[in-house]
Structure 1
Amino acid sequence: MACIGYARVSTTDQDLDIQNARLKAAGCEIIRSETGSGASRKGRSELDTIMQFLHAGDELVVLRLDRLGRSTRDVLNLVHELDEKGASLRVLEPEVTTAGSMGQMVVTILGMVADLELKFIKDRQRAGIDAAKAEGVYKGRKKNVDDAEIRRRIAAGTTKAQVARDLNVSRMTVYRALEGQDAQLDSI
């Protein structure tokens, strides 16, 4: 039976050390960690790797359930996948395991709480942005790429999709830069 730890933080300015130390103290021989949102399971390659290699009798350990995910559906799907493999989930805070039927019920409730907490976070963020906009303080995120660079590349004959790939921006960013150009021409 392998005891595998999973640690996750949402942003690069957060620290994984506490989670890793607690997982090691809980007996995890292997600990995989990553930085990424818990709102969805998508794009979390370390978690995917763990799920691929878990076998019957293995145990996935997380410090808190919200480190595994903030979507009730994702958490329940993970628990179901673990159950199908004959593996279990152990949460350290509060101490709960899916090895028994009562543990699965508790994990379901904790998953719902994590999901609700994510909604509260988004609501607070939206309220803060709205308040900043009302005060004229919020200007949005600083641009990574100059609109003039996008327009120069388009004028040189590069396709919009290629410009987006080359500059590592979305195609919508390219279209917005070009809309800005149209607005400037209309004002002349």
Structure 2
Amino acid sequence: MGRLQQHEASAAVARIGYARVSTPDQNLETQRDALQAVGCDRIFEDFGVSGASRHRTGLERALRFLKEGDTLVICRLDRLGRSISHLIAIVGRLQSRGVELLSLTENIDTNSASGRMIFHVMAAVAEFERALIIERTMAGLAAARARGKVPGRRPILTDEQCEEARRALEGGTRARDIAARFNIHPRTLMRAASRAGRQKSL
């Protein structure tokens, strides 16, 4: 490969950095230095933004900027995702576009066989955790039903209050006035009165 071809090949792919700090009293210098040291051509940043935030402008710009063959570089995995499942979702989004991930602290590079294996293990762990949560939830619901309890939010008004509201409405009292008496919204009152009416017709 000639020099021109080598230059074109190196220009075709890039290392793109992403840095984030959660609070305004932190600074990005350490992350910037580390990303520049490994040859990042451009660095996108989020300043004072939690990893749990859905609105990370810097990250979204980085994801839009990346192209096939590029590598997204971060200092630590927790700079990118708020949880294992969130990380896996982002990496899946990257890999569907032919983009790799390099995390410097954990030394994870999805361009290598070992890096891909680590992420497959993480994906399996995340799936296992989701399955456990579903299983525990279903078991809890079954146990509650067995005890005669139906899980869910408790009604705002008792059956007696719903019936009282229904009678007041039928007697000509304004819904707004009745709702004020129970300290609820008129729409909530109307639903409660309607429920009382249905129960009475049973």
Deviations 1:85-130 (CA, angstroms, capped at 9, x unpaired): 10100000121101134313324667979xxxxxxxxxxxxxxxxx
Is 1:54 the counterpart of 2:60? The answer is no
**Structure 1 residues 109 and 66, CA gap change in structure 2 (3 angstroms):** farther
SS at match of 1:94: coil
Separation in 2 of the partners of 1:15 and 1:110? 29
Among 51, 56, 59, the residue aligned to 1:44 = 56
CA 1:107–1:8: 2 relative to 1, 3 Å: farther
**CA–CA distance in 2 between the matches of 1:95 and 1:26?**
12
**Counterpart pick for 1:81 among 85, 93, 102:** 93
Out of 38, 59, 77, the residue aligned to residue 65 of structure 1 is 77
Q: CA RMSD in A?
A: 2.1
Query: Which sections of structure 2, spanning at least 5 residues, go unmatched?
Result: 1-12, 127-202
**Distance change >3 Å, CA 27–CA 110, structure 1 → 2:** farther
- Asked whether the equivalents of residues 72 and 108 of structure 1 are also in contact (C-alpha less than 8 Å), the reply is no
How far apart are the structure 1 equivalents of 2:59 and 2:51?
11
- 1:32 equivalent in structure 2: 44
Amino acid corresponding to residue 56 of structure 1 in structure 2 = E
In the TM superposition, 1:88-127 aligns within 5 A as: 88-107=100-119
> Aligned AA for 1:104?
R
Q: d(CA) in 2 for partners of 1:110 and 1:15?
A: 29
Q: Name the amino acid aligned to 1:47.
A: L
Relative contact order: is structure 1 or structure 2 higher (C-alpha 8 Å, sep ≥ 6)?
A: 1
On the 8 A contact 1:56/1:85 being kept in 2, the answer is yes
Amino acid at match of 2:52: A
CA 1:69 to 1:101, structure 2 compared with 1: closer, same or farther past 3 Å?
Answer: same
- Post-superposition offset of 1:20: 0.3
Aligned-pair CA distance for 1:15: 1.1
TM-score, scaled relative to structure 1: 0.55
> Aligned residue pairs: how many?
112
TM-score with structure 2 setting the length: 0.51
In structure 1, give the amino acid aligned to 2:21.
Answer: V
- Unaligned 5+ residue runs, structure 1? 114-188
Give the whole-Å Cα distance in 2 for the aligned partners of 1:51 and 1:69: 13
- Aligned-residue sequence identity (percent) comes to 41
Question: 3-state DSSP class of the match of 2:96?
Answer: helix
Report which stretch shifted further, 100-109 or 25-34.
Answer: 100-109
User: Does the CA contact (< 8 Å) of 1:3 and 1:61 recur in 2?
Assistant: yes
The higher radius of gyration belongs to 2
